[in-house]
Amino acid sequence: MIRFDKGPGAAFAKHFAALPDHDEIKEHFWYDWGPVFYRGRLDGSAKIICVASDPGPTERIAGRNLVGNAGQRVQGFLNKIGLTQSYVLLNGFSYALFPSHLSDGIKLLSRPDLTAWRNRLFNMLKKPSLQAVVAFGAVAQKAVDLWDKKGNIPVFETYHPSYHSGGAAGEKKMLTDWNRVVTELRKIITPDDDASANKPLYGAKFAEQDYAAIPHADLPFGLPEWFGNDAFFRKKRGMNSVSRPSPDDRHTLEWKAPKFN
């Protein structure tokens, strides 16, 4: 069976199209690349909402959140709590934020129009199946904190999957905290039927077994078979198949295919 994501239904498409105009604040974003909105289930079956910061270059290619190296770390995280499909992945910002504008970005999250739009999206996903929310990093944590109708849904705050401060010690600190969250979520989340929640916890640094490929069911039809699995690039030359050039002209992406032979 060929599996792929057919895109949002009418209600979500209408809401995504109603994203507030970012023209007045576009100096903080890779604005001309446009927004990216989600990855995962929009049909009410999501048991967890994972929120990160903003879409990167790989996300722009797929039009889906968290599909690059960071996304494959999150997919591995989800696998460790027994989820293979019952999740939805969002970002605090739908446009890609310049990393140097992080402090300004966190302030912008409180703009009434952006807060209302984002909270409406959260509310649309708050169904009886929802068991927890994970906020990865400062942008996500602020966005979830501003969600006024989350009620008593358990919220877990932890490091962003691309956290890289402090070298080896920082990575160990991050993964220690991810182990904390995974352990707590295993007490809350009902595993998917085709999964188990007994995979090994993290060590002091990421191992290849801690990553997981992005399921084809999360991606639009027509992407290469290897898309969403950057194991080749992690081994050979870097972390992602898609990157921005240096210097960055803000209008170019470099997308490389793996060379298997």
- In this predicted model, what pLDDT tens digit does every residue of 46-64 receive, in sequence order? 999 999 999 999 999 999 9
- Domain assignment present for residue 248? The answer is yes
Are the beta carbons of 48 and 78 closer than 8 angstroms? yes
**3-state class of 132 per DSSP?**
strand
* 48 phi and psi angles, rounded to 5 deg: -145, 140
- Residue 237 has a pLDDT of 64
- Residue 238 has a pLDDT of 64
- In this predicted model, what pLDDT tens digit does every residue of 23-50 receive, in sequence order? 999 999 999 999 999 999 999 999 999 9
**3-state class of 223 per DSSP?**
coil
- Residue 235 has a pLDDT of 86
- Domain assignment present for residue 235? The answer is yes
DSSP assignment letter at 152: T
- In this predicted model, what pLDDT tens digit does every residue of 150-209 receive, in sequence order? 999 999 999 999 998 889 999 999 999 999 999 999 999 999 999 988 999 999 999 999
Peptide bond into 258 cis (omega under 30): no
- Residue 251 has a pLDDT of 97
- Domain assignment present for residue 47? The answer is yes
Q: Does the pLDDT at position 261 exceed 70? A: no
Structure tokens at 91: 């970002």
Instruction: Pick 260 or 40 by higher pLDDT.
Output: 40
- Domain assignment present for residue 230? The answer is yes
Are the beta carbons of 28 and 101 closer than 8 angstroms? yes
- Residue 202 has a pLDDT of 98
**How many structural domains comprise the chain?**
1
Q: Look-up: residue for tokens 């290897």?
A: 226
Residue 3 identity: R
- Sheet strands (E) in 127-224: 132-136, 155-158
Q: Across residues 120-124, what is the average pLDDT? A: 99
Q: What is the CATH number of the domain that holds 192?
A: 3.40.470.10
Q: Does the pLDDT at position 98 exceed 80? A: yes
Distance CA 236, CA 101 (A): 31
> 96 pLDDT band (50/70/90 cuts)?
very high
- Domain assignment present for residue 37? The answer is yes
- Domain assignment present for residue 161? The answer is yes
Distance CA 248, CA 251 (A): 8
Neighbours of 166 (CB within 10 A): 11
Structure tokens at 64: 């889906």
Q: Does the pLDDT at position 1 exceed 80? A: no
Nearest-CA neighbor of 53 among 4, 68, 25, 11?
Answer: 68
- Residue 218 has a pLDDT of 99
- Residue 240 has a pLDDT of 84
Model confidence, pTM: 0.96
Domain region containing 160: 10-210+221-255
Are the beta carbons of 138 and 106 closer than 8 angstroms? yes
- Domain assignment present for residue 118? The answer is yes
- Domain assignment present for residue 66? The answer is yes
DSSP assignment letter at 38: -
